């Protein structure tokens, strides 16, 4: 099983839609999690950190299910500017090196 698995998409949604991505991770000792967004030909940028059961920041909500080893990202009221690749990044326990998945591509269209 890969350390991080994400549906690569792309997810094509209209403006205003609600969309959710899931990310599964294999290391049960992972202590914290991050969602990064990466625009085309740009570097990844931090979107949200998750240290407990979840986190919410405006239109973005992350939820962690440790029992099933997955983390989700929910985007409400999608904007055109949300179009990007979303990377799930668990921080494995006992390691100093975060693991990046391939990401999920989101395309928001008018």
Partner 1 sequence: GAGVSQSPSNKVTEKGKDVELRCDPISGHTALYWYRQSLGQGLEFLIYFQGNSAPDKSGLPSDRFSAERTGGSVSTLTIQRTQQEDSAVYLCASSFATGAGNTIYFGEGSWLTVV
In the complex, minimum distance from the CB of residue 61 to partner 1, in angstroms, rounded to a whole number: 19
Residues 41-80 that bind partner 1 (CB under 8 A): 41-46, 49, 51
SS3 state of residue 82: helix
Choose among 37, 47, 42, 28: nearest CA to 90.
Answer: 28
The nearer residue to partner 1, 19 or 88, going by C-beta atoms, is: 88
User: Please, are residues 44 and 103 in contact by the beta-carbon 8 Å criterion?
Assistant: no
Give the gyration radius of the chain's Cα atoms. 13
Compare residues 16 and 93 and give the one whose CB is closer to partner 1. 93
Residues that bind partner 1 (CB under 8 A): 30-32, 34, 41-46, 49, 51, 87, 91, 93, 96-103
């Amino acid at each position: 099983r890969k350390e991080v698995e994400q549906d690569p998409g792309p997810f094509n949604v209209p403006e205003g839609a609600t969309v959710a991505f899931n990310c599964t991770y294999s290391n049960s000792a992972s202590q914290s999690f991050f969602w990064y967004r990466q625009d085309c030909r740009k570097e990844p940028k931090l979107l949200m950190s998750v240290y407990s059961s979840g986190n919410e920041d405006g239109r973005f909500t992350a939820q962690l299910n440790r029992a099933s080893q997955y983390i989700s990202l929910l985007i409400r009221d999608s904007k055109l500017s949300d179009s990007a690749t979303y990377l799930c990044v668990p921080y494995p326990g006992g390691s100093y090196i975060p693991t990046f998945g391939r990401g999920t591509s989101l395309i928001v269209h008018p």
